[in-house]
Amino acid sequence: MTIARKIAASAIAVALGATTLAANAKTDAEQNDGRLEIGYLNCDMVDGANFVVYSSQEFVCSFQNPVSNEEELYAMEIRKYGVDLSVTDDETLRWAVVAPSTFEEKGVLEGRYGGASADAALGYSLGARALVGGGDNSIALQPVSVSTGEGLGAAVGIEQMKLTFKGAQTKA
């Protein structure tokens, strides 16, 4: 087995393990500290760059506020530090937003988040991320399903994410 195949196989195993842990984390958070799943943050990649030990991606995101029924728009920047041997053309992320309570204020998700991630791709990509942050580090973003996209390679590392509120619009 070539080194490239061993790296890809290892990254796939890590991604699947991280996906399992992330899926269980939402349930644990809701049961242990009373946090509620209050909605979903949906993001589509608009740009990205990879420098092997550092990568960055930019996304446009939307969140349906369950109290105001407004769609909140966010810009997301992700910086990953670790090993990234991937080329990704397209990626979509979907997170369950877990918070201490619901809120009427706009832009509450804005802030910095951090956590771990793992991705593997051979045509279509699989990935898992679990991030905590926002105001007072009280909001968790838990993957609803693995991230999806198209690309080639593998990545595992520590991830930092900045979410910037861009406005809200009433959804009809």
94-151, pLDDT tens digit by residue?
888 888 877 778 888 999 999 988 877 777 767 777 788 876 677 888 776 556 666 7
CA dist 97 and 142 (Å) reads 7
Residue 145: per-residue pLDDT? 54
Asked if pLDDT for residue 23 goes beyond 50, the answer is no
Count other Cβ atoms within 10 Å, centred on residue 76: 21
Q: If DSSP codes are grouped into helix, strand and coil, which group holds residue 106?
A: coil
Average pLDDT over residues 22-41: 58
Residue 35: per-residue pLDDT? 63
Residue 167: per-residue pLDDT? 94
Does the predicted TM-score (pTM) go above 0.85? no
Asked if pLDDT for residue 20 goes beyond 70, the answer is no
Residue 71: per-residue pLDDT? 93
Residue 147: per-residue pLDDT? 62
159 and 129 in contact (C-beta within 8 Å)?
yes
Cα–Cα distances (Å) from 20 to 15, 26, 37, 80, 118, in that order, read 9, 11, 18, 20, 12
Asked if pLDDT for residue 155 goes beyond 90, the answer is no
54 and 154 in contact (C-beta within 8 Å)?
no
